[in-house]
A and B are shown apart, each in its own frame.
Chain A
Amino acid sequence: MVIRVVLPAHLKTLAQANGEVQLEAGERPTQRTVLDALEARYPVLRGTIRDHHTQRRRPFVRFFACAHDLSHELPDAPLPDAVATGAEPYLIVGAMAGG
C-alpha cells in the first residue's frame, strides 16, 4: 500500500522533502507502520514526531485523516481505508499553539 503523508512545514524543511511524501507501509497500514516507514526514509525526523524511546506522540503534534483526529487512536489500529489506499493523505500537524 502506498500511503500519502503530509508533513508540517518545519519538518518538510528539516527532511528536505518536497510536497507529499509517499511511503510503503505494509499491507495493513497503521499509524505505527507509517511513522516507522517515514523515520526510516528520513532519519532526521526521529524524535521530532515521537519520543525516541517511548514512541509516544510529542504533545504538540497531531495526526489527522479523512477529517478526523487520529491523535488519540491506538498506534496499531488500522488506518481508514481511504488512507490505506492512498485516496486520502495522512496529515502530521503542528498543534495550534503559540507561535
Chain B
Amino acid sequence: MSKVRVLIGTRKGAFIATADGKRDGWRIDGPHFAGWEIYHLKGSPADPNRLYASQSSGWFGQVIQRSDDGGATWSPVGNEFTYAGVPGTHQWYDGTPRPWEFKRVWHLEPSHGDPDDVYAGVEDAALFRSTDGGTSWTELRGLREHGSGPQWQPGAGGMCLHTILLDPRQNGRIFVAISAAGAFRSDDAGATWRPVNRGLRSAQLPDEDAEVGHCVHRIARHPSRPDVLFMQKHWDVMRSDDAGESWREVSGNLPSDFGFPIDVHAHEPETIYVVPIKSDSEHFVPDAKLRVYRSRTGGEEWEALSDGLPQRDCYVNVLRDAMAVDSLDPCGVYFGTTGGQVYASANAGDAWTAIARDLPAVLSVEVQTLP
C-alpha cells in the first residue's frame, strides 16, 4: 500500500508525519532541530529518501541539513551562500539603496533527475544551486544581475526568493518568484532571466503595471501543463496560459483575494486551491472561519471547503509554503497554520481532519507520496 510522508517546517523545529494510503492514522516524529526555524524541507523527486532542510536562527544563522534515509537521521552540509561578484544594492523599505546581504534560505527545490542537484531561494533575493548534495552552493547570478535588481525591495517578510519551479520536461526553463519583485523566467537553466509580470497590477506601486516590484506570494502549476501557471499575489489570484508572458485575474467570487499559498490538484490541472486571508493588514482568515477555496474551473468560480475546519473564533494565517498535495487518488491536500495546526483532506478538500493541533507556527508543508 502507498504511504504518505508530510514534511512540516515550523518556527521551532521540523516534524514528519506519516500515514498509509488511507491517510486516517498519523504518526508524528519530531521535533528535529528543536528551537530552530525550519523555513522549508523538501524531498528529492529522484530519491524520496533524500531530504533537504533549511534550518536557521536569528542568533546563529543558516544551516542546511540533509537526510539520506527519509528523515530518520540528518547531517549538516554546506551553509556558505556567497553572492557572486560585488553584490550591489537593492531598495530598502524607505526607498534608499541597501547592500545585498544573505539572511536565510526560504525554499529548497531538488531537481527532477539528480538527488544531489538542488536549488535554494534565499533572502536577500537570489537563487543558488548545489550539484554536490548541498555541500557547496553557487549563485546563479544572472537573476540578480539581469538589470532590475536595484529596484527590488523587500516585502514585510523580507526580500525573499520563495518560489522555484523547475520544468518537468527538464528543458532548462525555471520560474522563480520574489517578494516584492515579481516573477522571473529563465529558458537557459538559470544563466539569463527576464521578468514575466505583464498583467499584474499592484495598487501599492506608483506605476500599477510596473515591470517589477509586484509582491508575488506563490506560483503553482500542474506537472502535465508546465506553461499554465497559477499565482497568489499579495492581492489577486492570477493565471497565465503562456508561461508567464501574460497574466489575468481569476479571483472571481473569493471572499478576499489576499492570501499566501496556492496549489493544484494532482490529477485535475484546472482544480486549484487557495486560502483567502482578510487583508494585508489583518493576516487572519475572514469572518474568523478557516476555509480553503477550491476552483474546478481554473479560477473565477470558487467554492468554500470548510468541513472539519474551525468555523468560529479562528484567527490563523496560512503561509506561502504551507500547502501541498499528494498524488494518491483521491488527491490529498494538506496545509499548516500559524496556530500550529496541520490539516489534511484525503478527498481533494471535501472534508478535513487535523493531523497535528499544537505545533509551533507552521512555516511550510511538503508531501511525499511513497510506494
* A97 interfacial by beta-carbon distance below 8 Å: yes
Restricting to B50-107, which residues have a CB under 8 Å from any CB of A? Answer: 57-63, 76, 79-80, 82
Q: B57: nearest residue on chain A (CB-CB)? A: A10
In the assembled complex, the Cα of A8 lies from the Cα of B59 at a distance in Å of: 10
| Chain A 22-64: CB-based contact to B (< 8 A → 1; otherwise 0) | 0000000000000000000000101111001100001011000
**Is the CB–CB distance between A95 and B59 below 8 Å?**
yes
The residue that A49 contacts in the complex, of B58, B60, B63, with Cβ under 8 A, is B60
B209 to chain A, nearest CB (A): 39
In the assembled complex, the Cα of A43 lies from the Cα of B339 at a distance in Å of: 36
**Is the CB–CB distance between B63 and A94 below 8 Å?**
no
**Is the CB–CB distance between A47 and B61 below 8 Å?**
yes
The residue that A60 contacts in the complex, of B36, B58, B76, B80, with Cβ under 8 A, is B58
Contacts of B61 in A (CB 8 A): 47-48, 58
* A98 interfacial by beta-carbon distance below 8 Å: yes
**With A10-B35, A10-B36 known to touch, is A46 a contact of B59 (CB < 8 Å)?**
no
Contacts of B63 in A (CB 8 A): 14, 44, 48
Q: A98: nearest residue on chain B (CB-CB)? A: B58
Contacts of A70 in B (CB 8 A): none
**Is the CB–CB distance between A53 and B59 below 8 Å?**
no
In the assembled complex, the Cα of A48 lies from the Cα of B76 at a distance in Å of: 12
**Is the CB–CB distance between A10 and B59 below 8 Å?**
yes
Contacts of B59 in A (CB 8 A): 8, 10, 58, 60-61, 94-95, 97
Using a Cβ–Cβ cut-off of 8 Å, how many residues does chain B contribute to the interface with A?
Answer: 13
Contacts of A58 in B (CB 8 A): 59-61
In the assembled complex, the Cα of A44 lies from the Cα of B65 at a distance in Å of: 11
Q: B36: nearest residue on chain A (CB-CB)? A: A10
Contacts of A10 in B (CB 8 A): 35-36, 57, 59-60
In the assembled complex, the Cα of A14 lies from the Cα of B61 at a distance in Å of: 12
A42 to chain B, nearest CB (A): 10
In the assembled complex, the Cα of A44 lies from the Cα of B76 at a distance in Å of: 7
* A11 interfacial by beta-carbon distance below 8 Å: yes
Contacts of B57 in A (CB 8 A): 10
**Is the CB–CB distance between A52 and B60 below 8 Å?**
no
In the assembled complex, the Cα of A60 lies from the Cα of B59 at a distance in Å of: 5
**Is the CB–CB distance between A52 and B35 below 8 Å?**
no
Contacts of B60 in A (CB 8 A): 8, 10-11, 14, 48-49, 58, 61, 94
Q: A47: nearest residue on chain B (CB-CB)? A: B79
B103 to chain A, nearest CB (A): 12
Which interface residue of B57, B80, B82 has the most chain A CB atoms within 10 A?
B57
Contacts of A8 in B (CB 8 A): 59-60
Contacts of A44 in B (CB 8 A): 63, 76
Restricting to A58-99, which residues have a CB under 8 Å from any CB of B? Answer: 58, 60-61, 94-95, 97-98
Contacts of A49 in B (CB 8 A): 60
Contacts of A11 in B (CB 8 A): 60
In the assembled complex, the Cα of A81 lies from the Cα of B137 at a distance in Å of: 41
In the assembled complex, the Cα of A48 lies from the Cα of B61 at a distance in Å of: 5
B217 to chain A, nearest CB (A): 25
**Is the CB–CB distance between B58 and A52 below 8 Å?**
no
In the assembled complex, the Cα of A52 lies from the Cα of B79 at a distance in Å of: 9
In the assembled complex, the Cα of A94 lies from the Cα of B190 at a distance in Å of: 38
Contacts of B36 in A (CB 8 A): 10
**Is the CB–CB distance between A47 and B82 below 8 Å?**
no
A91 to chain B, nearest CB (A): 14
In the assembled complex, the Cα of A9 lies from the Cα of B59 at a distance in Å of: 12
B105 to chain A, nearest CB (A): 12
Which interface residue of A8, A48, A61 has the most chain B CB atoms within 10 A?
A48
Contacts of B62 in A (CB 8 A): 47
**With A52-B82, A53-B82 known to touch, is A14 a contact of B58 (CB < 8 Å)?**
no
B34 to chain A, nearest CB (A): 8
Chain A residues with a Cβ under 8 A of chain B: 8-11, 14, 44, 46-49, 52-53, 58, 60-61, 94-95, 97-98
A-B contact pairs, 9 of them (CB 8 A): A14-B76, A44-B76, A46-B79, A47-B80, A48-B60, A52-B80, A58-B60, A60-B58, A97-B58
Taking A10-B35, A10-B36 as known contacts, 4 extra A-B pairs with beta carbons closer than 8 A to each other, sorted by chain A number, are A8-B59, A53-B82, A58-B59, A58-B60
CB-CB nearest 5 A-B residue pairs: A48-B60, A60-B59, A94-B59, A44-B76, A47-B79
